[in-house]
Amino acid sequence: MKKIIVLLAILLSSGYLNLYSQKEPSTGVYLITCAPGTATYSIYGHSALRIVDTEKNSDLVYNWGVFDFSTPNFVWKFAKGRLDYMLGVYSFKRFIQEYFLDQRSVYQQKINLEPDEMGQLFMLLAENLKPENIKYRYDFFYDDCSTRIRDLLEKSLGNRLLYSPEATKKLPTFRDKVGEYLRPYPWLNLGVDLLMGIPGDKKANSRDRMFLPVDMMEVLSDASINRTGKMIPLLQNSESLLEFDPPAVKQKFFTSPLFTFSLLFILILTFFIIVKNKTAVKLLDIVLYTVFSVLAIMMIFFNFFTDHQQMRWNLNIIWLSPFIILCLASIILNRDWQVWFRIVFILSMIFFLLIMLLPHAFNSSFMPLSLILIFRSSVRAGFSWNPLSLNQVNEL
């Protein structure tokens, strides 16, 4: 049945492309902007260059978003920030067919280039296609499928390319811009906020924001080319090649991270108040501190052992500190290492206060998780003011 559906989709897309071919564009260079999809890799949209040469009957797409899943140690290289992307060149028909099957909107805008500017662009593309240059080290903020196109246009046009002044002095951060696209996906947004460090909180001007395809389309649509004092729009008006309704993503509060973790905190609190069995209490603590230890190891890895600059200086390491691992060892080995639990308690309290004082700087879903650490570390630390510690510490 699946094969029949795929075959019908291909036939339909072929029919659509035949209809589209009746209005073939003239020779030129076009900015292609693809709307965000629902797959994790497509949430931010996509950009490409389309180059049409009617004399040579050529219609090609230059795509800097290609990577090879068969790359040795693919997952490890991706985690380390050492995965190479590459420039792929293939027919426009193949390109548009993929987006038709994914039901994602695609727009194109002709770039107003003079022959000499177009020649300079073609030279740069030829340089990009050399074996030693076709691969590049991907960087989400500063070197991706969109910024590569922006950089080529800047090199081709030089100081003749003029961006519009910033419309507002209140610039968004990189985290803000990423969050706009992740708003329909709260769990994915939680993961990004967990891993993104202080570099993500840098202010992003209009040029910086062009790492996002839709933002780049908007910024370049307002840009101009200075030709002997006459200001020419860089891009012509957007033309729709494919048009689909945006994917409908329903957000449910009862499955959101904040509700889920808050309910988890309440359940854990209730369990430890009611249950007095020594073995059950120890086992649940081992489970909790194992989970937090894994997260702490992730913080260590992404802060110190990855090339992803966006993940460095991650303040989540305050509450997901390496001391949690020592706490786990203390529970498993039945050691009375209260000092580590006290350190974890203090750090978790500091982080909780930071969330309260700076609500826009941290994901609020971390609050109930930090409360779990505050609660259990205060018990294990043996603080006299905690009534549970008086009942449990001597038993554990």
- Mean pLDDT, consecutive 10-residue stretches, the chain (396 aa), reads 38 44 70 92 93 92 83 63 85 94 95 94 95 91 95 96 83 93 92 92 94 96 93 95 84 87 96 91 96 96 85 92 97 93 96 86 91 94 70 49
Decide if 195 is inside a domain.
no
Domain boundary among 213, 242, 271: 242
Q: Do 231 and 291 fall within a single domain?
A: no
Q: Do 83 and 223 fall within a single domain?
A: yes
Decide if 178 is inside a domain.
no
- Per-residue confidence (pLDDT) for residue 266, from 0 to 100: 97
- Per-residue confidence (pLDDT) for residue 220, from 0 to 100: 97
Domain boundary among 215, 242, 269: 242
Decide if 196 is inside a domain.
no
Q: Do 359 and 384 fall within a single domain?
A: yes
Say how many domains are in the chain: 2
Q: Do 262 and 375 fall within a single domain?
A: yes
Q: Do 216 and 260 fall within a single domain?
A: no
CA-to-CA dists, residue 110 to 239, 259, 302, angstroms: 9, 47, 41
Decide if 191 is inside a domain.
no
Q: What pTM did the predictor assign?
A: 0.84
Decide if 36 is inside a domain.
yes
Decide if 124 is inside a domain.
yes
Decide if 275 is inside a domain.
yes
Decide if 354 is inside a domain.
yes
Q: Do 37 and 6 fall within a single domain?
A: yes
Judge contact between 175 and 193, C-beta under 8 A. Answer: yes
Q: Which domain holds residue 32?
A: 2-166+205-242
Domain boundary among 220, 242, 264: 242
Q: Do 35 and 99 fall within a single domain?
A: yes
